[in-house]
Amino acid sequence: MASQDWMNKDFYAALGVAKTATQDDIKKAYRKLARKYHPDQNPGDKAAEEKFKEVSEAFQVLSNEQDRTQYDAIRAMGGGARFSAGGGGAGFEDVFSSMFGGGGANPFGGNVKFGQGGAGGPGFEDVFSSMFGGGAGAGGFGGFGSRRREKGADVHASVSIPLSQAVSGTTVKVGSGLNQVTARIPAGVKSGQKIRIAGKGEPGRNGGAAGDILVEVTVEPHPVFDVKGYDVYIDVPVSFDEAALGGKVEVPTIAGTTVTIKVPAGLSDGKYQRVRGKGIAGPKGAHGDMYVKFHVVVPKRLSDEARAAVEQFRAATSEADPRATFRSMAAL
CA distances from 67 to 2, 3, 58, 71, 303 (A): 7, 10, 11, 6, 49
Can you name the residues that pair with 272 across neighbouring β-strands?
293
Helix/strand/coil for 294: strand
Where residue 135 falls (left for φ over 0; alpha for ψ -120 to 50; beta otherwise) is left
Look up the CATH superfamily of 106-123+152-221.
Urease metallochaperone UreE, N-terminal domain (2.60.260.20)
Q: Could you state, in order of their start, the residue ranges of all structural domains in the chain?
A: 1-80, 106-123+152-221, 225-318
Look up the CATH superfamily of 225-318.
Urease metallochaperone UreE, N-terminal domain (2.60.260.20)
Evaluate whether 1-80 and 225-318 have a shared fold. Answer: no
How far is Cα of residue 322 from the mean position of the Cα atoms in its chain? 40
CA distances from 177 to 109, 112, 170, 214, 271 (A): 8, 13, 21, 18, 53
Kindly report whether the global pTM for this prediction surpasses the value 0.75.
Answer: no
How far is Cα of residue 317 from the mean position of the Cα atoms in its chain? 46
- pLDDT tens for the 332 residues of the chain, in order: 455 578 788 999 999 999 999 999 999 999 899 889 888 788 888 898 889 889 888 998 999 888 899 888 888 876 444 444 444 444 444 444 444 444 444 444 444 444 444 444 444 444 444 444 444 444 444 444 457 888 888 888 889 999 988 888 899 988 766 678 888 998 888 888 899 989 888 888 888 898 998 999 999 989 999 988 889 999 999 998 999 999 999 999 998 899 999 999 999 899 999 999 999 887 777 789 999 999 999 888 999 999 999 899 889 988 888 888 888 889 86
42 phi, psi to nearest 5 deg: -135, 60
CATH of 1-80, one of 3.60.110.10, 3.90.1150.10, 1.10.287.110, 3.40.50.1000: 1.10.287.110
